[in-house]
A and B are shown apart, each in its own frame.
Chain A
Amino acid sequence: MSTILTIKNLKYRRNQHVLLHDAQLTLTSGKIVGLLGENGAGKTTLMRLITGLAQGQGVIDVAGATSPVARKRQVSFSDALNGFMASAKVQKIVQFYQLVYPDFNRQRYAQLADFLGLRADAKLNTLSKGTREKLVIALTLSRQVALYLLDEPFSGIDSMSRKKIINSIIKWLPTDATLVISDHYVAEIAPILDEIVVVKDQTIAVHVATETIRDQEHQDIQDYYEQLYEGGEQHDA
Chain B
Amino acid sequence: MQFDDKVPIYYQIKQYVYQQIITGKWQPGTQLPAVRQLAVELTVNVNTVQRALRELIAAQILISKRGKGNFVTTDQTTLATLADQLVQDRLGAVYDDLRALNLTDQQIITAMQTYIEKRGRQDEHDFND
Closest-CB distance, B73 to chain A (whole angstroms) = 26
B39 surroundings in chain A (CB, below 8 A): 170
A220 surroundings in chain B (CB, below 8 A): 4-6
A180 surroundings in chain B (CB, below 8 A): none
**CA–CA, A167 to B38, complex, Å?**
11
Residue contact B40 to A211, C-beta cutoff 8 Å: no
* In the complex, B9 has a CB within 8 A of chain A: yes
How does the 8 Å CB contact mask read for B60-86 relative to A, with 1 for contact and 0 for none?
000000000000000000000000000
Residue contact B44 to A192, C-beta cutoff 8 Å: yes
**CA–CA, A191 to B48, complex, Å?**
9
Residue contact B6 to A211, C-beta cutoff 8 Å: no
Instruction: Count residues on chain A whose CB falls below 8 Å from chain B CBs.
Output: 25
Q: Which residue of B lies closest to A31 (CB)?
A: B47
| Range class of the B interface residue count | 10 to 19
Q: Which of A191, A193, A218, A220: most chain B CB closer than 10 A?
A: A191
Q: Which residue of B lies closest to A212 (CB)?
A: B8
Q: Which residue of A lies closest to B10 (CB)?
A: A211
B46 surroundings in chain A (CB, below 8 A): 170, 173, 175
A31 surroundings in chain B (CB, below 8 A): 47
Q: Which residue of A lies closest to B9 (CB)?
A: A191
A218 surroundings in chain B (CB, below 8 A): 6
Residue contact B47 to A170, C-beta cutoff 8 Å: no
A233 surroundings in chain B (CB, below 8 A): none
Residue contact B5 to A171, C-beta cutoff 8 Å: no
Residue contact B40 to A167, C-beta cutoff 8 Å: yes
Q: What are 28 pairs between A and B in contact, CB < 8 Å?
A: A30-B47, A31-B47, A32-B45, A163-B43, A167-B40, A170-B36, A170-B39, A170-B40, A170-B43, A170-B46, A171-B40, A173-B46, A191-B3, A191-B9, A191-B44, A192-B43, A192-B44, A192-B45, A193-B45, A194-B47, A211-B8, A211-B48, A214-B5, A214-B7, A214-B9, A218-B6, A220-B5, A221-B5
